[in-house]
Amino acid sequence: MKSRANFLGHPLHPILIPFPLAFLTGALAFDAAGWCWTRPDWWSVGYYLAIAGVVMGLVAAVPGLIDYFAVVPPNSSAKQRATKHMLVNLAALALFAFSWLLRGDPSAAPDGLTLGVQVLGLVLLTSGGWMGGTLVYRNVIGVDHRYAHAGKWREERVEDTPGAPVTVGKADELKVNQMKLLHVGSRRIVLGRTEQGYVAFDDRCTHKGGPLSDGVMICGTVQCPWHGSQFDTATGAVKAGPAGDSIATYRVEQHGDELRLRL
């Protein structure tokens, strides 16, 4: 089986995420322990950890935002999940920032309200983390798949000239069962090579919007990476559910060593 599949996110995203998680959890732990045992030095640490966590959370949000727009497939269940993930995490940061403002001073003891706001922030942060994990483990966002003899991930932006065929690559560019994701204007189209020649079809699975370019193609059938729906790449027909509707396919023409797509 040869295929490519790779929906890698921004490399800084997973590197930065542990910082706000550690700092904000630590802020609550130090504040609560300092409050319980009346230790001003502990709640001072909590004060500084809270603001460090908020700042690092905002820094980590930048690659997250890039992934949100550039990697998560549009019009999909993953996009809805990513939207909730982003809003819940921002709300958690806002709550920790609010708790920090409530304290106002590192020497001020945290009161019940401050601790309550932080607990709520941590609940939201945990729930946001759960959604982020689901985006990785279920929606395979940021997972680097490898298959035997796989070609490298290919993704290309091409100009859409209405009414005219679009040049999308060279005839020998892909091996049989390899795919490439094309951004043609605002559309995401998969160019694939089968034993019978080149095919092109919508990147969006009709079940819940899974990225077919990130799935597996073999013997003219492409399988969605999310729930396994299979489509005939020549006709777009569903060969196996849960998807019920076929995908759109497009004509690929070969002129010399050039491939042209007709939309």
Residues that bind ligand FES (CB under 6 A): 205, 207-210, 224, 226-229, 242-243
If we measure between CA atoms, which residue out of 243, 144, 242 comes closest to residue 201? Answer: 243
The residue among 164 and 240 lying less far from ligand FES, judged by its C-beta, is: 240
To the nearest whole angstrom, how small is the minimum distance from the Cβ of residue 212 to ligand FES? Answer: 8
230: which strand partners?
223, 240
The residue among 245 and 258 lying less far from ligand FES, judged by its C-beta, is: 245
The residue among 33 and 136 lying less far from ligand FES, judged by its C-beta, is: 136
Distance, in Å, from the CA atom of 36 to the CA atom of 30, rounded to the nearest integer, reads 10
Q: Strand, coil or helix: what is 131?
A: helix
The residue among 227 and 260 lying less far from ligand FES, judged by its C-beta, is: 227
To the nearest whole angstrom, how small is the minimum distance from the Cβ of residue 245 to ligand FES? Answer: 11
To the nearest whole angstrom, how small is the minimum distance from the Cβ of residue 210 to ligand FES? Answer: 3
The residue among 75 and 254 lying less far from ligand FES, judged by its C-beta, is: 75
Going through the chain in order, the beta strands assigned E by DSSP cover: 155-158, 166-170, 179-184, 187-194, 197-202, 216-218, 221-223, 230-232, 238-240, 249-255, 258-262
179: which strand partners?
192
To the nearest whole angstrom, how small is the minimum distance from the Cβ of residue 251 to ligand FES? Answer: 24
The residue among 73 and 110 lying less far from ligand FES, judged by its C-beta, is: 73
To the nearest whole angstrom, how small is the minimum distance from the Cβ of residue 199 to ligand FES? Answer: 18
What burial class does residue 177 get, using C-beta atoms within 10 Å of its C-beta: 0-12 exposed, 13-18 middle, 19+ buried?
buried
Token pair recorded at residue 15: 């590197």
To the nearest whole angstrom, how small is the minimum distance from the Cβ of residue 226 to ligand FES? Answer: 4
Give the pairing type, strands 179-184 and 155-158. Answer: parallel
Asked whether 223 and 229 are in contact (CB, 8 A), the reply is yes
